Amino acid sequence: MKYKIGFLVAVLISGVISTSAFAQESFLDKVQKTINQTEIEKGYKSLIGNSEGLVKDLEKQIKNMDIVEIEKTLGSTEWLNGKNSKIIKAMVEKQLPGVIEEIKAQLEKAPNNTKLLIKLAVAYQFGAKYSLAITVAEKILTLEPGNYNAAMIKAQCYKLMGETEKGAAYLEKFMKAQLSNPDLAQMLASMKMDMGQEEKAIKELESSIGKFPNGKKLYEELAKDYEKIGEKGIKFFVDGKKVDFSKYGKIEPVVRNGSTMVPIRVVADCLNIGISYIPKTGTVTLINKGKTIVLKENEKTAKVNKKVIKIDAAAQNIKGRIMVPLRFVSEQFSKDVKWFPFNKYGIISLN
C-alpha cells in the first residue's frame, strides 16, 4: 500500500487549532476540534450515505493505518457532525493500541522495513506519543536519509510538543541537504507563519511554487497566508513565476462579471503569443502555433481560426489598456488555469 501523510498535514497543521493546545491533546481531540470548528456546506450530501458502512470502512482503515483512505472518509462526508464524531473518537482510541502492537510484531520479523516504521511513527503520533514517533522517524532517516515522510513526522511532532521553532529549523536543514518537496515547503511555511515570520513564509512559498508550479497545496497555503497578512490584489503565477505588473504600467488584473481580465501585453509575454490591436475597430488578434483568435472590444463572441464562438466576457478598454478574458485565451492556447481565493481577491495559477 502506497503511504502518504497528507491527512496529517491537513488536520494537524489546521489553522483553526492553536499550537499551544497540541501539546496537551491527543490526536483524537484535535480531530474532534477540527470537525467541530470546520464549516460544512449546507445540504452537502454524504458520499457514503450509510453510517454503518462508514463505521466498517473506517475500522478497516484505522487498522491498516491507511491514511489516504482515512482522509477520504473523514474529509468527504457530513456524517462527522455532532455526536457522530464521538463514535470515531472512541473507535480510534479503542483500536490504536492494538494497531501499534500489531505493527511492532511485524517489525520483529522485518526491523528495517521503512513502510512499517512509517506506520508505527504515524500511530504514535496519532496517540500523542510524540517522543516515540520522533525516535522511529530518526531510525527511518538513518536507513533512508531522504525519506521526506519521516522528516515531516519529526518536524510535525516537534510542533505538537510546542517546539515549533525547533521543528522549522530541522525541516529547513533537511530541505537544504535533500531534494525539496512541495509538502515539506508547505509545512515549513506554515511553521514560519506560526512563529510570526510572515514575510519569510510567503517568500518560501513563492520560491517553492517556482520549483513546483503544479503544487496545489502550495497555492492554497499561499492564499491562506496572503489572507492572514491582509494582502490585496489578484496575484498571477505563470509556470510558477510570479508576474510583476509594475512592468505593465501597474495595470493589474480585474474581475468583470465573474471573469478575470488581464492586460493584453501580459498575455502576450506570458504565453509567448503574437498580438496586434487595431484601435479604430477595437480588434485584438492573438496568434500562436497555427491558432488565431480574434476578439472585439465589448463583443461576447470570438473567432477561433475563423470559427465564431460565444465567450463569457468581452475584451475591454480599461484605463486606456486593452484587457482580455484570461481563462478563455489561456485555455485556447492549452494552458491550465486555476483560481485560489483569498480575501476578496485570489491567486491565478497558469501552467
Q: What tens digit of pLDDT does each residue of 177-232 get?
A: 876 788 888 888 989 988 999 999 899 899 989 888 988 888 998 999 999 999 98
For residues 73 and 57, the answer to whether their CB atoms sit within 8 Å is: yes
User: Which CATH number belongs to the domain containing residue 341 in this structure?
Assistant: 3.30.457.10
Residue 11 has a pLDDT of 33
Specify if 125 maps to a domain: yes
For the beta sheet containing 321-325, the strands, ordered from the edge strand earlier in sequence to the opposite edge, are 254-256, 259-263, 321-325, 316-318
Residue 59 has a pLDDT of 58
pLDDT band at 62; cut points 50, 70, 90: low
Specify if 259 maps to a domain: yes
d(CA 27, CA 90): 12
- Asked whether residue 169 falls in the same domain as residue 250, the answer is no
- Asked whether residue 157 falls in the same domain as residue 259, the answer is no
Q: What tens digit of pLDDT does each residue of 143-161 get?
A: 999 998 899 889 989 998 9
User: Which CATH number belongs to the domain containing residue 94 in this structure?
Assistant: 1.25.40.10
- DSSP secondary structure letter of residue 147: -
Specify if 100 maps to a domain: yes
Domain span including residue 59: 6-179
Specify if 47 maps to a domain: yes
- Asked whether residue 151 falls in the same domain as residue 24, the answer is yes
pLDDT band at 14; cut points 50, 70, 90: very low
d(CA 218, CA 186): 6
- Whether the pLDDT of residue 312 is over 50: the answer is yes
- Asked whether residue 240 falls in the same domain as residue 175, the answer is no
- Asked whether residue 240 falls in the same domain as residue 173, the answer is no
- DSSP secondary structure letter of residue 297: B
Helix (H) or strand (E) holding 169: helix 164-177
Mean pLDDT estimate for the chain: 76
Residue in this structure with the C-alpha cell 525516535, named with its chain if needed: 135
- Asked whether residue 154 falls in the same domain as residue 301, the answer is no
| Per-residue cell: 209 | 511554487
Residue 271 has a pLDDT of 83
Q: What tens digit of pLDDT does each residue of 24-61 get?
A: 444 444 444 443 333 322 222 232 334 455 556 555 65
Count structural domains, the chain.
2
- Whether the pLDDT of residue 85 is over 60: the answer is no
- Asked whether residue 61 falls in the same domain as residue 168, the answer is yes
Looking at 140, 158, 179, which one is the last position of a domain?
Answer: 179
* Type of residue at 80: L
- Whether the pLDDT of residue 287 is over 70: the answer is yes
Average pLDDT over every residue of 101-124 = 89
- Asked whether residue 246 falls in the same domain as residue 121, the answer is no
Residue 241: HSE in the Cβ half-sphere, 13 Å Cα cutoff: 8
Looking at 179, 196, 224, which one is the last position of a domain?
Answer: 179
Residue 267 has a pLDDT of 83
Specify if 110 maps to a domain: yes
Residue 40 has a pLDDT of 29
Specify if 342 maps to a domain: yes
d(CA 298, CA 316): 6
Specify if 126 maps to a domain: yes
d(CA 205, CA 212): 10
- Asked whether residue 167 falls in the same domain as residue 250, the answer is no
- Asked whether residue 251 falls in the same domain as residue 168, the answer is no
Q: What is the pTM of this model?
A: 0.68
Question: What's the Cα-to-Cα distance from 339 to each of 39, 84, 206, 346, 349, rounded to whole Å?
Answer: 21, 34, 16, 6, 6
- Asked whether residue 268 falls in the same domain as residue 168, the answer is no
d(CA 215, CA 222): 11
d(CA 304, CA 323): 18
Looking at 179, 205, 224, which one is the last position of a domain?
Answer: 179
Specify if 228 maps to a domain: no
- Asked whether residue 47 falls in the same domain as residue 124, the answer is yes
